[in-house]
Structures are given as C-alpha cells and as structure tokens.
Amino acid sequence: MERYISKRIKNIPKSFLTDIFKLAADEKVISFGGGLPNPKFFPIKGIQNACNKVLEDDGANVLQYSITEGYLPLREYIAKRYKDKEGIDVSSDEILITSGSQQGLDLIGKTFVNEEENVLVEKPSYLGAIEAFSVYQPNFCEVVLEDDGPNIDSLNEVVDENKIKLFYAIPNFQNPSGITYSAEKRQKTAEVLRKQNMILIEDNPYGELRFMGEPVPSMKKYYDNTMVLGSFSKIVSPSFRMGWIYAKKEFIEKLVVAKQAADFHTNYFTQRVMYQYLIDNNIDDHIKTIVDSYGEQRKTMIDAIEKYFPKEVEFTRPEGGMFLWMTLPNNMSAMDLFYKAVEKNVAFVPGIPFYAGEKIENTLRLNYSNVDSEMINTGMKILGDTVKEMMEK
C-alpha cells in the first residue's frame, strides 16, 4: 500500500486534533482541548430565517454552481468591514471566499511555497497551519514568541541567516499561546520582514474576540506585503467552513486558479445564507455577547489557575480569543500530565504538535471558550492537583 502514497502525504502524521476532537466528544470529559466556539451562541434562529429567505426568494440560483471568487455582495460586505473596523481600503477584488481559513492556508501553501523553501512560523505556532504547509514540503524556521510578540533578536537572526518565502503569524490572541503583538512589536517586525520583502500571512480568526485592552492595528498597516486570513467560524458558525483571504489582486488571481482546481467554489448556498444572516442581524451585538462570555470564562480560568496550581507554573493572560498557554516546571512532561488527566476525565492539548521544529515538552494549551465556568473550576482543580502530585514525585 505504501508504494502508492505520495512523498508529501507520507510524512504527515494523522493529526492530534482528530484524537482531541474524539476525546472532547465524550460527554464525561471536561475538555480544554478543542478549539470549539461555545455552541450556546450559535445564531440558530437567524440562520434558519436566512435559509428560508434565500430559498424562497432565489432558490434556483442559490442551489446552482457559482463563481470561484465567492458571492460578490459577501465579498463587498467583508471589504467594507475592513474599512469600518480597521480603516483599511479594501476592494472586493482583493477578497477570495475560502472553505474555512484552513483552506486559505492550503491554498497559500499551494500557490506560494515550493519544496525546500523556508517558511517562518512562530514558536509555538498553530498546528493546523504546520500541517497545511507541510504538504508542500518546505523547511520550517521558527521565531521565539514573547508576551508582546516575536523576540526581535530571534527574528533578526533567522531572517539574516535564511532566505524566507513567507512568515505565518497570528498577531491577535495567538493560537496556541493567547498572546497579542503590541503596536511596537508590529512596527519592529515589519522592519525586519522588509529586509527580504517576504510575504506575511496574518491569520486573524480571533481578532473580533477582544474582551480587554485596546485594539492594535492589523499588520497590513505596518507591512504592505501582507495577506490576511479571516473566518466566520468563531463569530457565526464553524460548521459552514467559511473564511476568506484578503490579499493584493495579483495574489488573489493566482489563488483563484488554485481554488478552482481545489473545489470550484465554496458552498454557495451557505455563502448566500451567511450574507443574508449578516445583513438581517446586528453582528456586532452578537459578537459582544460572545466576547462578554469568553471574557468571563477566561477570568474564571485564570482565577482557578492562581488558586489550584503551584506557583512554578507559568501562563499567559490573553486579552481575547479562546486559548491560554501554560508552561509547567522544566522537567515536567505535558504528555504525562495529559494521560494522567484523561484518566480523571479532563483533557487539553499538550504543546508538542504546536512546534514546527524543536518540541518543547513542558507546555500545553488550554481552551476556555467551550467550557462553562463551573466546569472550568472543576476541571482546573483536577488539573492543578495532578500537577502538584507530579511535582511531589
């Protein structure tokens, strides 16, 4: 059988995420593992109304094939939102609707990354991005993250020593670390990237989920050669698999070629439903409801860490998004903790799959968006107690 499999797929392990999702599906388990939005905020009724409306008004068209770029009014809506929220002038020609941000990553890898070229990622980085790019067989370089963004010395070093094709970054409420690049770090990062005029991918699925602190402008404002990935998964529904790439028109034209070969176009019925939902409802009010709740859940989790975990444990304090990152004492293995915790029906993601290079063993990611406050308290106490037990041995 192996003889049939391509080199590009052979070395990609079956994702950790799959097992995590399967574990998280067991109702006994308190899972801090997934990256799932809280389903209590899914706008079920709003989506239902939108389905009925588009089918009744324009059924024959909404069920037909459509164009690769995506539904024009939806692209215009997204472009306008960049203007309204970030003050960036964006044309609908610069937006490509994708089957989730994950497809955006795949299309970018396919369109821009040749085998053996260098792709720079954060340390740690998003494992789904590492997987998506791995298919195209690049070399990964890493830049160390600090609480306010890349370590600039580390960034200068890697850029001076390697010719980099693109830098993949998540500047807002990073997955997995929860950190956000400060304005100063954005400026300095842009200066370093300019040395090679490499492509910057700003993956921004959580940008709208800020519950404290001040918004920081998109990297696009600091560095023109930036492509931005956006998503409806965290603010409306992930089931639709609907995101977008915002990039220069010349890049979009090439991405459209890749997109066409990949799936013709994103599900057009749900593009129409999404647009209808967005124009018939106040999405900002909806996002505020989500943000208020995630902010509460994040607070509960941090309070619980301070209460139940030993002082030696370090953790980030995200200003938005869905994750925080924990660093156990140096000699402790997050995999060991994972197995012990799962026996007690608590799950999380050990840090290992988030590293494209050297695997750091004592880190882990905790999700607070899909667990209510009581469960957070119960689960974090179990986890904290388990860490204490491990320290005593």
Looking at residues 18 to 57 of the shown chain, list those that interact with its own copies (rule: CB under 8 A): 18, 21-22, 34-37, 39-40, 42, 44, 47-48, 51-52, 55-56
Which residues between 68 and 107 bind its own copies (CB under 8 A)?
68, 99-100, 102-103, 106
State in angstroms the smallest separation of the CB of 28 from its own copies.
Answer: 18
Please list every residue from 328 through 347 that binds its own copies, using CB under 8 A: none
Q: Which of residues 147-166 bind its own copies (CB under 8 A)?
A: 165
Among 6, 282, 330, 331, binds its own copies (CB under 8 A): 6
Minimum Å gap between C-beta 247 and its own copies is 11
Q: Contact between 176 and its own copies (CB under 8 A)?
A: no
Q: How far is the CB of 162 from its own copies (least distance, A)?
A: 16
Asked if 16 touches its own copies (CB under 8 A), the answer is no
Residues 106-125 that bind its own copies (CB under 8 A): 106, 110-114
Residue 228 as a binder of its own copies (CB under 8 A): the answer is no
Using the minimum distance from each CB to its own copies, give the nearer residue, 8 or 83.
8
Contact between 218 and 77 under an 8 Å Cβ cutoff? The reply is: no
Nearer to its own copies, 60 or 393 (CB): 60
- Return the range that interacts with its own copies (CB under 8 A); candidates 14-22, 206-214, 303-311, 314-322: 14-22
By CB under 8 A, tell whether 203 contacts its own copies.
Answer: no
